[in-house]
Structure 1
Amino acid sequence: MEIRHATDPESVETATAAELRDRYLVTDLFAPGEVCGLYTHEDRMVIAGAMPADQPLAIPAWEAVGTPAHLDRRELGVVNLGDPGDVIVDGSAHKLGTLDGLYVGKGSDIRLSGEGACYLLVSAPADATHPTARFSRDTVEPLALGEDSRASRRDLYRYVWGGGHPSCRLQFGVTVVHDGSVWNTMPPHLHDRRTEIYLYTGLAPGDRVIHLLGRPGATRHLLVADRQAVISPAWSVHAGAGTGPYAFVWAMAGENTDYGDLQTVTLEQL
């Protein structure tokens, strides 16, 4: 497991492109037959990738988490980026299609299976246990956002958020950008009381998302490829434009689960 410490906003303004990538870009989450993880001290979130291939996988008891099992003091969000597969929670199988999600509560035992499945895992500290819940992109009603004329039309699928299934700190879901649109959020905003992690998916090999980060008025950018993630600290704006079709998984943890607790940043402030 890789460990990254929290960063301050001033350091972004003087960092080289390589330093920005080292601090905020996550590039090596997915390997066949493995669970690869990263622990960030930004709200103590864990992001991991699991590709079961021909045998089920369990989440390791990483030393950074400090418990005998990963979910002893954590809750978990799972989104499948690949072919259909089964997530077994306490002996019960939950089938996830492409971009379907699953919430798993504190204290659960989990196994991930499915040749061709590719799971994104995001966990956060939890002090209570909430029930397991499956979310299908085919049945969850998306929130339509943006406009064709501003190249920002997208569908927001909220799986776990303040107005839906309960959680302690974790929120997550999927946003699908419409063909012909490029922006995933514009104008951008801040989540001053929460860290957010983005995982971009559905990009062709030659395409990238240009992801903005940093404080308003002092932004930098990262070029992000398919199945790569960005850690967005609470002080950073976040917005991105893709060179081709894409979707992204978003996950947040922090002070509260009020989805609307954010601050809009105008283009003038940028």
Structure 2
Amino acid sequence: MEVRYSVNPKDVKRFTTDELRDEFLIQGLFQSEIQMVYSHVDRMIQGSVAPTSPRELKVKAGENMGVSYFLERRELGIINIGGSGKVDVDGTVYDLVRTDGLYVGMGAKKVVFSSDDTKNPAKFYFNSAPAHKTYPTVKIERSSITPRHLGSIETSNERNLYQYIIPGRVESCQLVMGMTALEPGNMWNSMPCHTHERRMEVYMYFDLPETDVVMHYMGQPQETRHVVMHNEEAIISPSWSIHAGVGTHNYTFIWGMVGENQEFDDMDNIKIPDLR
């Protein structure tokens, strides 16, 4: 498990392109059977499981976590963006087709992933956050979620926002998680942009053709920077940073947040003319 440390926004002003990418960009998701990045920004863990062999895979606690099993003091949110697969949580098996999600509460000792067809493997993307209470494990089907329709074709940001893990739907200690899908012909997300000093966020972009990119914008509103991102890459967004993007093609992204509250609309909005 790779470890990333917190970064001061004053330092980011002087970062080179490579330094910016090394600190915030997460590459290689789904390229190996299990990959995890532990961020000291609110101690979020983001990662992927891509079972490509008949054997099942078990997530294990890293030595730096100081616990006997992965979810001893954590909760877990999973969304499958690949072929159909299964997640075994302490002997209860959940079938997840593409875009199905799963919330797993603190205390689950066995979390095992497998693909139904290794020629078309599942791609389980996950976020994990520290927890203080156990909530029930819940399967989440995207087809059961009524999306929030946002934006318009006139501003190139018509999109559907699906809230998977959020108060009133699936209860959690602090993890909030969902998916946003841009309509064809639309390129912008989260613009006008915002920050939320009370929560960090992680974006994972997918459904992007291999020949296209997303220009992800980050940094303080008056000190913006950009990171060029490709399909199935993620980026860490500290609480002080904006998080918006524009693609050369429409795309979908998974967002996950942790922090002081779970109020989705608690944002510090930034007017477009005020960006620098």
TM value normalised by structure 2: 0.95
Task: Give the aligned partner of residue 50 of structure 2.
Answer: 51
Give the count of matched residue pairs: 269
Letter paired with 1:52: P
Corresponding position: 1:22 with 2:22:
yes
Question: Which residue does the alignment assign to 2:111?
Answer: 110
Q: In structure 2, what is the equivalent of residue 266 of structure 1?
A: 271
Helix, strand or coil for the counterpart of 2:167? coil
Q: Which runs of 4+ in 1 moved over 4 A?
A: none
Q: CA RMSD in A?
A: 1.0
DSSP 3-state at the match of 2:227: strand
Structure 2 distance, partners of 1:133, 1:24, is: 30
Is residue 35 of structure 2 the alignment partner of residue 36 of structure 1?
yes
Return the match for 1:194 from 195, 199, 209: 199
Contact 1:101 1:173 (C-alpha < 8 Å) held by counterparts: no
Superposed, 1:26-175 pairs within 5 Å as: 26-32=26-32, 34-54=33-53, 55-108=55-108, 109-114=110-115, 115=118, 116-175=121-180
Cα deviation, residue 239, structure 1: 0.4
Alignment partners' CA distance in 2, 1:119 and 1:154: 23
Whole-angstrom CA distance in 2 between matches of 1:175 and 1:64: 33
How far, CA to CA, are the matches of 1:65 and 1:121 in structure 2? 17
Q: What secondary structure, in the 3-state scheme, does the structure 1 residue paired with 2:65 have?
A: coil
Which of 203, 220, 223 pairs up with 1:218? 223
How far off its partner does 1:164 sit? 2.2
Aligned counterparts of 1:258 and 1:121: Cα–Cα separation in 2: 21
1:158 match: secondary structure: strand
Q: Which runs of 5+ in 1 are unaligned?
A: none
- The one-letter code of the counterpart of 2:35 is C
**Displacement, 1:177?**
0.6
The equivalences for 1:214-253 within 5 A come to 214-253=219-258
**Rounded Cα–Cα distance in structure 1 between residues aligned with 2:124 and 2:197:** 28
Residue 131 of structure 1: how far off its partner (Å):
0.4
Structure 2 segments unaligned to the other structure (5+ residues): none
